[in-house]
Amino acid sequence: MFILVNLKAYPCDPIEVATAARDVADESGVRVAVSPQAADLSRVAETGVETWAQHVDPNGHGSHTGSTLAAAVADAGAQGTLVNHSERRLRLADIDGAVQAAARAGLETCVCANNPAQIGAVAALGPDGVAVEPPELIGGDVSVATADPGIVEDAVEAAAAVDDDVAVYCGAGISSGEDVATAGELGATGILLASGVAKADDPRAALESLVEPL
C-alpha cells in the first residue's frame, strides 16, 4: 500500500512532516511519500523522503510565465507528481500533456479524477496511477471508502478495463488506519490524503496510525 501525503497550502511545517514520513516509512517498510508546495520541493527531498510535486504543467521551456515544469520538479528532487487534483483541474488534453511531460522527466504520475467514468478516461492516457476523489468528501471526516465503497470498486474495475498496469489509489477523507485497510480491501493499492496528516497536531503519530494495520 502506497501512502501519498499532499500538504496542499496548509500552514504546516513541511520538513517536520517529511522527516516523520521518512522515519515511519523506514520503520514500517510501507511506502510513504510527501507532496509539498513547489517552493519546498528541494528542502523536502533533502530529508530523504520520497517527494512528489502537487502539479506540473504540460509545457516545456519557453515563454510560459508561472508554469511548473516537470523537468524543474525532477531537478528539485521530486520522484513523482500529482496531476489534475480536484483543486487544480486541467482539460483532458492538458492532463495528457502533463503526463507525457512528467514521463519525459522521469517522474511517476498519479492523475486524480472525480468518479469511475473519469478514472477510465484518464487511465487511457498512460499514467502510473489514478486516484478517485469525490470532491464533496475531500477534507471531510468520512473517507470515500466508508461513505461510498462502490465508487472505489468501480474505479478499480474502470482502470483495469483500460490498463491493468495503472495503479488505483483511494482519496478523500482518509484519516485512519481503518480507512487505509478498507481501501485495500476494496482493491486500491494506495491512498491519497492531506488534512489527516498535514493538519494533525502530531504528524508522526498520524502516520503511525495509518500504517499500523499494514
Residue of 50, 55, 85, 108 marked catalytic: 85
pLDDT the model gives residue 143: 59
**96-110 pLDDT, tens digit each:** 999 999 999 999 999
Is residue 34 within a helix (H) or strand (E), and if so which, with residue range? Answer: strand 31-35
Is residue 85 among the annotated active site residues?
Answer: yes
**107-157 pLDDT, tens digit each:** 999 999 999 999 999 999 999 999 998 765 555 555 555 656 788 899 999
Mean predicted confidence (pLDDT) in 175-190: 89
Cell of 100: 507525457
Sign of CA dihedral 122, 128, 134, 139: negative
pTM: 0.93
Segments in 48-202 forming alpha helices (H): 70-75, 92-104, 116-123, 144-147, 149-162, 177-185, 195-198
Distance of CA 74 to the CA centre of its chain: 16
Residue of 50, 55, 108, 133 marked catalytic: 133
Mean predicted confidence (pLDDT) in 13-26: 98
Counting beta carbons within 10 angstroms of the beta carbon of residue 91, is it exposed (0 to 12), middle (13 to 18) or buried (19 or more)?
Answer: exposed
pLDDT the model gives residue 176: 84
